[in-house]
């Protein structure tokens, strides 16, 4: 069996096949692919102040502290896919329900694709992750979300939160992180 790259089939009997296309990559005999310049980003929130969430959809623009930006695809609080493929996206962090909040207040995090919260998940549905409903007032809640998205070159992704309980649902950006990478 050969490896098809750009319409050219390569076969190799040894345990390692190395192709120099200007981007280092190794395909090992066991099927592992080593891609040291794989698209990857890790960003953190940069604000050390609480941010109130409005009722409805809130696209988060507080992720401006870039830690890793392999491929240069992260800019202005959003990630832009450089190529078609499946992407692993993850947002972690806490959320606070302010004193006096009703136990019926809730919020849920997800990712918006091209400005739409409907997204483009691998399963073709945006998963509802309801947080905070029925929780005591003045409490912290987990705001983590992990999802695989099918993206096309040029699609952009932003972290989003739906909030029902304004202005009492808040986030603390300095304790949040957003990351993602190309799966293939």
Selection from 172, 171, 52, 169 nearest residue 101 by Cα: 169
How far apart CA 75 and CA 178 sit, in angstroms, is: 13
Out of 80-84, 104-108, 123-127, pick the least confident: 123-127
Please check the confidence at residue 74 and state whether its pLDDT lies above 90: yes
Selection from 116, 118, 140, 142 nearest residue 128 by Cα: 118
Q: What is the pTM of this model?
A: 0.75
* Token pair 């809730």: residue: 106
Query: Where exactly are the structural domains of the chain?
Result: 1-37, 38-182
Q: How confident is the model at residue 27 (pLDDT cuts 50, 70, 90)?
A: confident
Classify domain 38-182 by CATH number.
2.60.120.40
């Amino acid at each position: 069996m050969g490896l098809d790259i750009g319409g050219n089939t390569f076969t190799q009997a040894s345990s390692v096949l190395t192709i120099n296309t200007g981007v280092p990559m190794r395909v090992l005999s066991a099927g592992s692919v080593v891609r040291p310049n794989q698209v990857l980003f890790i960003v953190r929130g940069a604000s050390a102040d609480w941010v109130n969430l409005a009722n409805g959809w809130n696209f988060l623009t507080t992720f401006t502290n870039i830690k890793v930006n392999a491929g240069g695809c992260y800019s202005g609080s959003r990630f832009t896919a450089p190529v078609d493929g499946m992407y692993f996206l993850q947002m972690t962090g806490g959320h606070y329900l302010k004193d006096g909040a009703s136990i019926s207040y809730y919020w849920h995090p997800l990712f918006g694709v091209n400005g739409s919260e409907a997204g483009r998940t691998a399963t073709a549905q945006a998963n509802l992750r309801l947080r905070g409903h029925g929780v005591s007032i003045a409490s912290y809640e987990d705001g983590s979300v992990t999802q695989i998205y099918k993206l096309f070159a040029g699609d952009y992704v932003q972290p989003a939160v739906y909030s029902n309980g304004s202005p009492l649902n808040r986030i603390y950006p300095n304790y949040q992180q957003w990351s993602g990478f190309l799966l293939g």
